[in-house]
Structure 1
């Protein structure tokens, strides 16, 4: 299916990365379980938070180590699907899965304390969307894709930037969540606008932009980082990425841009509805908290 049958188990499921993700997940359950008794202020973690964290880890694994990661080297559509899952879907799930008391411990670590200013709404929005857009300039994208160490570093930085971007909306610390509902709504629209130029460049380009999806030699070199063996044999066997693509390179690129924008619009629209109704409910509650009798008595005294 989609050419996956031509690749080995290790190429499809990245066993080392899978082991790493399982270790992190196990560490999470140890910290919120047996070790939680040693942490001041710890509380039992609800099942909903555990499910959220596990789902976030599973999605991140699929996007960065599972079949979607490999497909992302074969088709640009899946590359953008991987990006959306890694930086738009997984971060809020992971953030919601970590309890507030554990966040307080994490944020006491010195490097995180020094980076606090990066979580400010405007800074975080510009940082994440700027890094994401810069990565998708054709020359930058191809260079990063063809240099494995830089590729991993860039993705890690982008993931941290995604968490900072989500912090204003998914702030797990009640004492730090000071943004009003109206401010959060504006912040959501800001993020939606900032990502639009990059997606527009990809969707409306009149020609293929990325060598790693159109040049067989560049594609084979990029594939060499996720598929064991000699990359030249990939060229001998398949001739290039068009062997796997069910669309033309140009259409695949356009669909990829649409997929990314769809993911962002859907996730942020869902968040927008959640923020709006919470804000609306809070405003009504404040109005209802006014006691009619006290208001009438005050009015009579003024009279």
Structure 2
């Protein structure tokens, strides 16, 4: 169980967060049911979209409040799995699961609100630079350790990362057809840009000659950081386990390298799959237009 057996059920599964997740799922089905019938002009949400939204919420729960979050405070490799699920997997699933009538209403409201002046931040290149820049900045060792030890900053930074990741995904998943700015070759270029921008941060982590993060190598700092998941006197953790090496199935340096590789693997698989899909769609569209021109 990778060390989870040493902790209580509430510490591993965070019942409050689990209850909130289940309430959000219930609220979603009410929204697409009775409320959708009234305000959505009878638009039905396909089963596939419903499954995407539920999966997105469950992934977010596991990464930010469930077992993966706890493991992510003990091993850097699981920290990177948490990052990937939170910002590369959950956002597009949630966005694709939201009913179209809600997106149309939200976009209409944003066009009338003061936030319309920030529309430039949704430009594919700007959004990619902001998200990947914040993600890379967070994994500078001094910044990472500071955020992990200051819980208010930790939660705020994670919320900002989630919002900027949704901005980055907006043009990729294009939840409202014809609303996204990136189409065809432009969208493929945007996907490739995201693949490139995260490479330096992953490279720094993978090829570092020593452990970079005190959170996963210094017992005192690790115990303080664990206070985010395990409330109480951190000295108890030191007495019981001694430090993060108690749970590490790999040495700190190897664990760090595995984390960097996992993050890059998640990113490459997700974006490469999307790149192939977008290329196929673009290729079919081009052939369709050529055929129509020949018929004309």
Query: What range describes the TM-score normalised by the shorter chain of this pair?
Result: over 0.9
**Counterpart selection for 2:195 from 192, 197, 212:** 192
| Aligned counterparts of 1:64 and 1:19: Cα–Cα separation in 2 | 14
Cα 1:200–1:42, aligned 2, differ >3 Å: closer, same or farther?
A: farther
| Aligned counterparts of 2:12 and 2:142: Cα–Cα separation in 1 | 27
Question: How many residues in Structure 1 have an aligned counterpart in Structure 2?
Answer: 293
- Contact 2:182 2:190 (8 Å CA) reproduced: no
Partner of 1:132: 135
User: Partner of 1:290: helix, strand, or coil?
Assistant: helix
Alignment of 1:128-277 (within 5 A): 128-277=131-280
Alpha-carbon shift at residue 185 of structure 1 (Å) = 0.7
User: Partner of 2:69: helix, strand, or coil?
Assistant: helix
Cα 1:182–1:273, aligned 2, differ >3 Å: closer, same or farther?
A: same
Q: Which runs of 5+ in 2 are unaligned?
A: none
Alpha-carbon shift at residue 152 of structure 1 (Å) = 0.6
Alpha-carbon shift at residue 126 of structure 1 (Å) = 0.3
Partner of 1:288: 291
Q: Which stretch shifts more, 43-52 or 109-118?
A: 109-118
Q: Which stretch shifts more, 166-175 or 249-258?
A: 166-175
Q: Which runs of 5+ in 1 are unaligned?
A: 295-303
- Contact 2:72 2:78 (8 Å CA) reproduced: yes
**After superposition, what is the alpha-carbon deviation per residue over 1:270-300, rounded to whole angstroms, capped at 9, x for unaligned?**
10011000000100111111244x5xxxxxx
Q: Which has the larger radius of gyration?
A: 1
Q: Report whether the alignment pairs 1:18 with 2:21.
A: no
| Aligned counterparts of 1:59 and 1:279: Cα–Cα separation in 2 | 30
**After superposition, what is the alpha-carbon deviation per residue over 1:154-187, rounded to whole angstroms, capped at 9, x for unaligned?**
0000001000001111111113134221001110
Moved over 3 A (4+): 109-115
- Contact 1:42 1:101 (8 Å CA) reproduced: no
Partner of 1:119: 122
Alignment of 1:40-79 (within 5 A): 41=41, 43-79=43-79
Q: Which stretch shifts more, 101-110 or 283-292?
A: 101-110
Partner of 2:106: 106
Cα 1:42–1:222, aligned 2, differ >3 Å: closer, same or farther?
A: farther
Partner of 2:83: 83
Alpha-carbon shift at residue 15 of structure 1 (Å) = 1.1
Cα 1:43–1:229, aligned 2, differ >3 Å: closer, same or farther?
A: same
Cα 1:112–1:173, aligned 2, differ >3 Å: closer, same or farther?
A: farther
Alpha-carbon shift at residue 139 of structure 1 (Å) = 0.6
**After superposition, what is the alpha-carbon deviation per residue over 1:48-68, rounded to whole angstroms, capped at 9, x for unaligned?**
100000011111111111111
Alpha-carbon shift at residue 39 of structure 1 (Å) = 1.7
| Aligned counterparts of 1:115 and 1:31: Cα–Cα separation in 2 | 28
**After superposition, what is the alpha-carbon deviation per residue over 1:23-81, rounded to whole angstroms, capped at 9, x for unaligned?**
22222111111111332545111111000000111111111111111000010000000
Alpha-carbon shift at residue 118 of structure 1 (Å) = 1.3
